[in-house]
Amino acid sequence: MPCGYKGRVCFDGVRFKVDPYEFFEEMLKGLDAYSFSVKSDSIYVAFPRTTSAYNHKGFGLFEPEDPLGYRESGTFLKMMAVALHAKRMHFDTMYLLPVSMHSNRFKKGTVGSPYAVSNPLRIADYLADPLLELSAEELFGAFVEFCHSMGMKVILDFVPRTGARDSDLILEHPEWFYWIDVASVGKYAPPKAPELGFRQLSDEDMAYLYQRQDVRNFLSCFRWSPSYTEPEKWDNFVRANRGKDFLPELVKTFGVITPPGFSDWINDPQPTWDDVTFYRLFLDHPDVAKPFVGDDQPPYVLFDVIKASRFPGSKPNAELWDYLSGIIAYYIERFDIDGARIDMGHALPKELEQLMMERALKIKPDFMLIAEELNPEGDVKAKESNYGAIIGNSWWM
């Protein structure tokens, strides 16, 4: 309960109960007394879906919508109360994990991961609150304005290297993704080379891998985009499936599917990332691969393709780059956010990374950019690239 709360409170012997409308009306009073500070000293990290989740009915298990009409998962309305609490603990920045619409397909738990983004430009609908007749976009805008009124900044997590395997973008831009024969899904896994250890790879390592038979077998799983192999059939498919859960029908019709993601480190013990797939950032193969892979090889994913910052191709997927570089800019213009962490920014081509930053900083010169830098020694490089902070391999800022 906020200190000094003057609304009506009922105590049932276990928990305090308040009228939600009266609670938020009281909470909003006196916000003009706060001043906005440009500098961040302390950051409160939150995943809205869980951080502000609450069993409003007071009994039983979690229900998305309880019998009383409350949404038990977190919403931006309830996140306002969390932000006020964070402010009173002297935090001056709210950093939210991804809030974009995400997929529930191939989920590894009971609900989908926020990093399996299906539509980067759409806020997840469930973050709206049934107490208010406002969309998720409207309520997120109100959340940002609420934080600003307290002198707090808002930073968002963005995911420009991967998308959901059933991304909304697939129907309009299948060439932005990689494809494998659906018959190979059961055996699909990144090649192993125990003699190389667990590490990131060099040019020499990649040359060695490309000459191995197991790597050639892995590359044979990949297929061309269905829009390339059967353009007329694809156009008919898009017309019939726009706005639908299209992936099962796509698999049935074309016999291909987007492949799971995996780490850019060789011999990584973690399993494949079954709910996400990589964007195809280049229209050609990595330069390091060209002596070993011909033009007849369909676009594929391997350690060098993933680490496009270290192993770029020569033909940027310009339309995709324009789209990806505009996502953060859209959130600045639409919602006035103050910063962004770029997930897997370490794997983006330098030119794309800089384009994203330039478009953001042109709109808001004091915009805060946070790098995911798995090598802490990359702090100098991150600073030279216009990042204001890094999150390293131990998650220390």
pLDDT tens per residue across span 119-142: 999 999 999 999 999 999 999 999
The model's pLDDT over 187-220, given as tens digits with 9 standing for 90+, comes to: 999 999 999 999 999 999 999 999 999 999 999 9
How far is residue 106 CA from its own chain's centroid? 16
The residue ranges of every structural domain in the chain are 9-159, 166-278+282-306, 318-391
Spatial separation of the C-alpha atoms in residues 254 and 237, rounded to whole Å: 10
Residue 30: predicted pLDDT: 56
The model's pLDDT over 104-121, given as tens digits with 9 standing for 90+, comes to: 999 988 889 999 999 999
Residue 40: predicted pLDDT: 54
pLDDT higher than 60, residue 32? no
Question: Nearest to residue 155, comparing CAs of 167, 147, 163, 166?
Answer: 147
Q: Is residue 23 within 8 Å of residue 67, measured between CB atoms?
A: no
pLDDT higher than 50, residue 396? no
pLDDT higher than 80, residue 241? yes
Question: Nearest to residue 223, comparing CAs of 323, 321, 298, 148?
Answer: 298
The model's pLDDT over 66-81, given as tens digits with 9 standing for 90+, comes to: 888 889 999 999 999 9
Q: Is 39 exposed, middle or buried (CB count within 10 Å of its CB: 0-12, 13-18, 19+)?
A: exposed
pTM: 0.88
* Separation in Å, CA 2 to CA 24, 44, 67, 87, 372: 11, 18, 26, 11, 35
Tokens of 380: 């100098």
Class for domain 9-159, per CATH?
A: alpha beta
Spatial separation of the C-alpha atoms in residues 307 and 345, rounded to whole Å: 10
